[in-house]
Structure 1
């Protein structure tokens, strides 16, 4: 279904292993696109459509963040281990180990977009551009907007979410049905659910360590360590061009992405009218066109920069 990887394996990180997958040739001369998945606690699988951008020669690098997928699982590690700093350092290590740290583009989806923004705010020398896809700039805003979205659910689902959420009975069948109804409206509206999205959900269920520690029981009941995390103060430090992507029905509502537009110096926003949290599978044709145009612009910028250096 997707292009076969030209290379895959793991790199060492603090005594553990980070799994990666490369589609295309790193020596092609085109700036590689590094893909950071969401969660925290998901896997790369649901973003495999981005391998199609390797068809024109651009290498695409997926990886599973520590604790997930093909990377080392550490179910006995607690909240003091699973930190934003850990995942920022892991990304730096991956870029260095794969030899792309001096020239790369970064695509981050959901939590991966927040991670990407925090990475960009450190002003890494080799970063040429950043895509922030379906990501809030602040988990406080995310939680606030999720409360509003829950209030807009049909009454039976809304009441189930409130009642069982208040008691912590997250395994109750009524609560589970309401969660899936929320996700069908605001996480992925594609029907049937793409196989690669299902693969990530199964991986997440098999080891929820990272997700439950940092986020909570589901996307809209955030009680983990990220519940008050905000990027807003660091956004003016981002120097590279940024493309913000979100969907009309997204969990990451316009209010949650507005700080990116207000504070990132070089930013563009694309709103996908028929999508929720995954435009790459909900509106694939338009998504491909938008991202292809942005990638081409970054490549032209790179050539101009080399010519004037």
Structure 2
């Protein structure tokens, strides 16, 4: 159970609204940890466990990126609207509106990882630390590793996935059942799925506009606008103290995350041996230890 929020609401972003939630005191003297969720097109829910870090002395900010959760939904907008620059601008706006742009840490998970890293490339003066968790730096590299992980699935599961992807019937129960085999191995190994993760999972499919446009129907069939996106060439620009987090069974394999380790100066890399894509849920005690140790080092 995550601590109760100390504040929540929305802030204006252009003509839209961004929903946020604060746990702890933003004026307590320590940098706020801002949780940048995955997707694109997911919600903050599956990262709510991070709110417990407020009990350790760091205020925590969650928010729902535009198009999902408590933020403005825009199901009529097309691919030209949903861009990386849009979400970078939204993050900048949130930091300014909450008054924390001069003292904060970013925790970017999955898609939130390269988004937070892209923010850090400009070396904002108030950014004290960066955590990149379970995240790609290159979508082509991600797709290559997805193909390798898919090849390890049972033959009948692979056949079902390929048949529905070729037919364009990725919204059927049969495809979902085959998809779950992959998810249960490489996204969340806890059974049944924790409620926080299930909430975000269902939110994506309640309004899949952003996810389907930028990603595709699931984590391993990426056919959206991000399919060729890479930030590898610019990772060397990051000068912020950086922690990398990955799971041994993660869809974000060590190969996927290695560009961060190789190219971000001084990056520290922690692999969680019993986790897949969600170490904060799969190994919560060690996750908290690693995070607190990193935050204290800043």
Q: CA deviation at 1:201?
A: 1.0
Q: Which runs of 5+ in 2 are unaligned?
A: none
1:138 maps onto 2:138 in alignment: yes
Q: Residue deviations 1:65-92, cap 9 Å, x none? A: 0001000000000000000000000000
Q: Residue deviations 1:210-229, cap 9 Å, x none? A: 00000001110000000000
> What's the counterpart of residue 228 of structure 2?
228
> What's the counterpart of residue 50 of structure 2?
50
> What's the counterpart of residue 3 of structure 2?
3
Cα distance in 2 between the residues matched to 1:285 and 1:156: 37
8 A contact 2:56–2:292 mirrored in 1: no
Cα distance in 1 between the residues matched to 2:256 and 2:287: 20
Q: Which runs of 5+ in 1 are unaligned?
A: 299-309
SS in 2 for 1:169: coil
> What's the counterpart of residue 106 of structure 1?
106
Q: Residue deviations 1:225-265, cap 9 Å, x none? A: 00000010110000001111011111101111111111101
SS in 1 for 2:18: strand
> What's the counterpart of residue 170 of structure 1?
170
RMSD of aligned Cα (Å): 0.8
Cα distance in 1 between the residues matched to 2:21 and 2:266: 30
> What's the counterpart of residue 155 of structure 2?
155
Cα distance in 2 between the residues matched to 1:167 and 1:248: 33
> What's the counterpart of residue 18 of structure 2?
18
Cα distance in 2 between the residues matched to 1:242 and 1:207: 33
Q: How many residues align?
A: 298
8 A contact 2:242–2:267 mirrored in 1: yes
What does 1:67-146 align with in structure 2 at a 5 Å threshold? 67-146=67-146
- The alignment's TM-score, normalised by the length of structure 2, stands at 0.98
Cα distance in 2 between the residues matched to 1:172 and 1:17: 33
Runs of at least 4 residues off by over 3 Å: none
* Most deviating of 192-201 and 162-171: 162-171
Q: CA deviation at 1:274?
A: 0.8
